[in-house]
C-alpha cells in the first residue's frame, strides 16, 4: 500500500489543480472585455409618502404638499460594463423608473445616470454598488436633481447571457428620501471580439 501512496497523492493533486485552473479559466471570458446589459426593473417602494412642491393656482405661491405613491413601480436600464480582469467589472448606466401616484398625486418619473462596480466572489455571483444622479419629474424645494446609491447582489451567467440582481436603492434630494427594493432582470451582450 505504501508504494501506491505517492501515486494516489499525485493523482489527487493533479485533479485539485485541474479544477482550480478550470475555475479560473471559466472566468477569463470577462478579462479585458466589454459588455452591455439591458432589461426591466421591478421595484417595491418602502416609504411611499413623500413631500413635494405644490404651486397654488390661485396665489401662484409654492408650498409643500404630501403625496402617496404606489408601493409597486417599474422601469428599465442599460449598462455598459468593462472588465479589466475576470473578477471585477466597472459599470456606467442610464435608466428610467416610473412610480405611479395614488389618488390625485402625480406619478413620479426618475431618470438616473450611475457609475459603479461588480466584484465576483464566485464564477457567477457578484456584489455590486452604484452611485449617481437622477432627474426627477417632480421638484422638491425647487430642485429636480436627486442623488442615488444602490448596493446589489447579483447573478451573471455568460453561457446564456442572463444577469439578475436584487438591489436596495436610495434616492436623496433636498433632505427628501425615497427608498426601494428592486429586481433587475437583464440580458448581457458581449461586445468583445472572439479569438
Domain holding 37: CATH number? 2.40.160.20
> How far is Cα 81 from Cα 101, in angstroms, rounded to an integer?
33
Whether residues 168 and 94 fall in one domain = yes
Do residues 141 and 168 both lie within one domain?
yes
36 and 19 in a common domain: no
Is the per-residue pLDDT at 167 higher than 90?
A: yes
Residues 50, 9 share a domain:
no
What pLDDT is stored for residue 113 in this prediction? 95
Asked if residue 195 is part of any domain, the answer here is no
Whether 185 is covered by a domain: the verdict is yes
DSSP annotation of 14 reads H
Whether residue 145 is predicted with pLDDT greater than 90 in this model: the reply is: no
Look at residue 24 in the predicted model and tell me its pLDDT.
Answer: 45
Quick check: 30 pLDDT over 80? no
> In this model, does residue 77 exceed pLDDT 60?
yes
Does residue 182 belong to any structural domain of this protein?
A: yes
DSSP summary character for residue 59: T
Q: What is the rounded average pLDDT of the residues 175-180?
A: 79
The per-residue pLDDT for range 110-131, each reduced to its tens digit, is 899 999 999 998 888 999 999 9
Is 154 found in the same domain as 104?
yes
Q: Do 153 and 142 touch, CB atoms closer than 8 A?
A: no
The pLDDT score that the predictor gives to residue 161 is 87
Residue 37: inside a domain: yes
Q: Is the pLDDT of residue 138 over 60?
A: yes
**76: enclosing H helix or E strand:** strand 72-85
Identify whether residues 53 and 3 lie together within a single domain.
Answer: no
- Residue 61 within any structural domain of the chain: yes
Give me the domain span that covers residue 79.
31-190
Q: 16 with 69, same domain?
A: no
Q: Residue with C-alpha cell 405613491?
A: 69
128 and 44 inside one domain = yes
| Residue-level pLDDT at 39 | 95
Measured in degrees and rounded to the nearest 5, phi and psi for residue 174 equal 50, 50
pLDDT number for residue 8: 56
- pLDDT tier at 137 (50, 70, 90 boundaries)? confident
Do residue 36 and residue 15 come from a single domain? no
φ/ψ (deg, to 5) at 23: -60, -40
15 and 65 in one domain?
A: no
- Count of domains observed in the chain: 2
- Range among 15-19, 128-132, 144-148, 187-191 with highest mean pLDDT value: 128-132
CB proximity list for 168: less than 8 A, separation 6 or greater:
150, 151, 152, 179, 180, 181, 182
Same domain flag for 11 and 69: no
Which is more confident, 195 or 145?
A: 145
**Both 94 and 163 in a single domain?**
yes
For residue 97, tell me if it sits in a domain: yes
**Cell matching residue 20:** 482550480
Amino acid at each position: 500500500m505504501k508504494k501506491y501512496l505517492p501515486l494516489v497523492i499525485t493523482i489527487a493533486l493533479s485533479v485539485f489543480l485541474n479544477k482550480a485552473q478550470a475555475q479560473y479559466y471559466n472566468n477569463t471570458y470577462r478579462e479585458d472585455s466589454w459588455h452591455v446589459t439591458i432589461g426591466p426593473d421591478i421595484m417595491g417602494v418602502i416609504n411611499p409618502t413623500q413631500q413635494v412642491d405644490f404651486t397654488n393656482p390661485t396665489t401662484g405661491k409654492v408650498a409643500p404638499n404630501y403625496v402617496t405613491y404606489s408601493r409597486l413601480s417599474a422601469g428599465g436600464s442599460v449598462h455598459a460594463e468593462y472588465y479589466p480582469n475576470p473578477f471585477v467589472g466597472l459599470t456606467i448606466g442610464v435608466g428610467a423608473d416610473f412610480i405611479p401616484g395614488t389618488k390625485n398625486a402625480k406619478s413620479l418619473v426618475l431618470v438616473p445616470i450611475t457609475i459603479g462596480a461588480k466584484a465576483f466572489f464566485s464564477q457567477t455571483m457578484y456584489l455590486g454598488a452604484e452611485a449617481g444622479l437622477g432627474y426627477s419629474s417632480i421638484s422638491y424645494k425647487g430642485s429636480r436633481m436627486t442623488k442615488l446609491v444602490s448596493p446589489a447582489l447579483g447573478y451573471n451567467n455568460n453561457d446564456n447571457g442572463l444577469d439578475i440582481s436584487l438591489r436596495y436603492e436610495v434616492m436623496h434630494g433636498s433632505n427628501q428620501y425615497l427608498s426601494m427594493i428592486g429586481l433587475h432582470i437583464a440580458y448581457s451582450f458581449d461586445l468583445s471580439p472572439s479569438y
